[in-house]
Structure 1
């Protein structure tokens, strides 16, 4: 695995990506970049499909190319092709799983936390009106500990015995907190609660085995940390649990025994899908999630280790290496976080983003990426320190 501190190596990797002149981007959590090679191939596929139109799609893509790509996706997450179906993004995947989960009865309870993605919260609350269930929401204290997170869920399962389904975010988009999924899923199973996992930020940063984690239902993005074109995600359903998710709104293009019936059938982004083999190849050649995750965690540690001791700055994400990845959030105590984020951009040329909706209020999210250098992190540390002193 490449040395996470080898700036020459990682800057050589960064040279594989084209960057628009402008601010230092520390908001790499929205979506990832394609490498120059992936972008070129994607553009070639766009031009080719535009020329060939349905001839290639009907004769080649639908007759086998798509299955080859699906098998490669399954290999990426160490599962069977029969367990995965492409979607346009993680949100679409998770909404399909929540909407079509068929084991709920009126009066049952479903669980979310304040850290879930807003569309996931919305989908779970939708169940209240359409399935007659009660939504339970828990809030997590920050910084959290491994044991406190697990115990919070254990206490919740005991307090609400009618819980049947919960949403759980692997890497929370607000603070980057990495949930102890395996321990929480085990506790949920002991109480008869099914877990739908939001893996949008996990894939490409964390090595995981869904079976080992005890996860039967999950949704992922391919355009965040894997480096694929936009409009690509997928859902996962453990084959033995397929019957617990209904075909999506009577979907008939695939038989009820096919996982692909669990999401809407539509004309996909064929050029993007056709580019995935190269995306997967580059991901593996770089060392996969182990190498990527280690590099971005190192960059995260560079700034957090220097900023956390500063009075007036509150880092909201734990330093337990099991509980963080690239993403970490912080606050300027007693300040307007929007004003401070604007000053980071206007005065120091640093682009970050605000996140809100959690119990702790509004925070500034910092997310380095593969093109981020240690020098960029130095600019961030200097900016936070100086702004805090104003």
Structure 2
């Protein structure tokens, strides 16, 4: 058995690991870890030290030292997360900021062209693509993927769209869907898109830290990520990626000139970033690597997911919304109580009756309850969830 799989099952290790985090003992059990991740105690302490450090030095440190002494090193470490050159990475405030920047500055469209989104994209990405279409005089094509999904159906739906809409030039693609946790077969879709000359802007918000990937191998040249979900950084940290050979296809952001047009950093707005948070990133990334990186985190989260899904998938009245194909899921999975039309009411009961916090998401086939374990979730917590789901299902 691979080392990461062995560790994923090692409950004694994870019981000790939980001790690295401060948790409110009176708070509900959090199974909505997809919103943002929890920082370790040492990261919180480092963050506080950096707030105090920057506050003491103020603009003298920021203007004279940050970029020269720390900023570039941080950018290099971030690039290592996606096995990419730092020349393609620019820091941003979030994945949404990064993706909106890529979308609004993509310059490869002319009136009459088409852009593609689907029902699984994040709302901000869909709205940005619709805005782009209005600004450039192009048409938005919107797909709804078949449910339940399969590897073949996902790739096939895109191939059919590329054939049906020959004027397609750009598409959004979400690596890990925020609604149900469905993992898109990105490499296969990218290969198909390349056949038809369609560029992809990848939303990697939920993938980074859960899935170990190489953007070049995936065939992705434009992408946006955050560092606050599965990496464990402070809030308001993200970055974009533009393959260096494609830099000219994304304009400088609103003619931004704080860096030369040959520098990827000109593709982001120039503003004062959260420098204490950025200074905390080296420790965050050190802890990420020490744990085993995305491979170790992903193995643990998928193991926890499998514990509850395997226990309830075949129970009448409970529908799991995410396939069991290991290529198509990670730690996030959604379900619904088929005998209860109001899933929000059932999520409220999970919270009020069992002290378990989840979130409801609306999909093209109806509302569902998204369940997302975190790195401090234990197998005993999942047993508590299973019992709650089975009891609620009988009511």
Q: What's the TM-score once normalised by structure 2's chain length? A: 0.97
User: Where does structure 1 lack aligned partners over 5 or more consecutive residues?
Assistant: none
Contact 1:216 1:236 in 2 (8 A): yes
* SS state at 1:15 partner: helix
Residue correspondence of structure 1 range 243-282 to structure 2 within 5 A: 243-282=248-287
User: Could you tell me how far apart the structure 2 residues matched to 1:243 and 1:96 are?
Assistant: 14
Match of 1:13 in 2: 17
User: Could you tell me how far apart the structure 2 residues matched to 1:89 and 1:26 are?
Assistant: 22
Match of 1:350 in 2: 356
Match of 1:198 in 2: 203
User: Could you tell me how far apart the structure 2 residues matched to 1:161 and 1:311 are?
Assistant: 44
1:78 is displaced (CA, Å) by 1.1
* SS state at 1:4 partner: helix
* Post-superposition CA distance 1:173-194 (Å, at most 9, x none): 0000000000000000100100
> May I ask how many residue pairs the two structures share in their alignment?
389
1:153 is displaced (CA, Å) by 0.7
1:38 is displaced (CA, Å) by 0.6
Residue correspondence of structure 1 range 238-387 to structure 2 within 5 A: 238-335=243-340, 336-356=342-362, 358-387=363-392
User: Could you tell me how far apart the structure 2 residues matched to 1:212 and 1:333 are?
Assistant: 40
* SS state at 1:10 partner: helix
User: Where does structure 2 lack aligned partners over 5 or more consecutive residues?
Assistant: none
Runs of 4+ in 1 over 6 A off after TM superposition: none
User: Could you tell me how far apart the structure 1 residues matched to 2:128 and 2:272 are?
Assistant: 24
Give the one of 213, 226, 230 matched to 2:231.
226
Match of 2:166 in 1: 161
* Post-superposition CA distance 1:35-86 (Å, at most 9, x none): 1001100000001111110111122212231011111111222111110000
Match of 2:106 in 1: 101
1:227 is displaced (CA, Å) by 0.4
* SS state at 1:122 partner: helix
* Post-superposition CA distance 1:101-129 (Å, at most 9, x none): 00011111100110100000000011121
Alignment of 1:66 with 2:53, yes or no, is: no
User: Could you tell me how far apart the structure 1 residues matched to 2:122 and 2:219 are?
Assistant: 21
Contact 1:116 1:168 in 2 (8 A): yes
User: Could you tell me how far apart the structure 2 residues matched to 1:279 and 1:7 are?
Assistant: 23
User: Could you tell me how far apart the structure 1 residues matched to 2:77 and 2:184 are?
Assistant: 27
RMSD (Å), alpha carbons: 0.8
Alignment of 1:76 with 2:60, yes or no, is: no
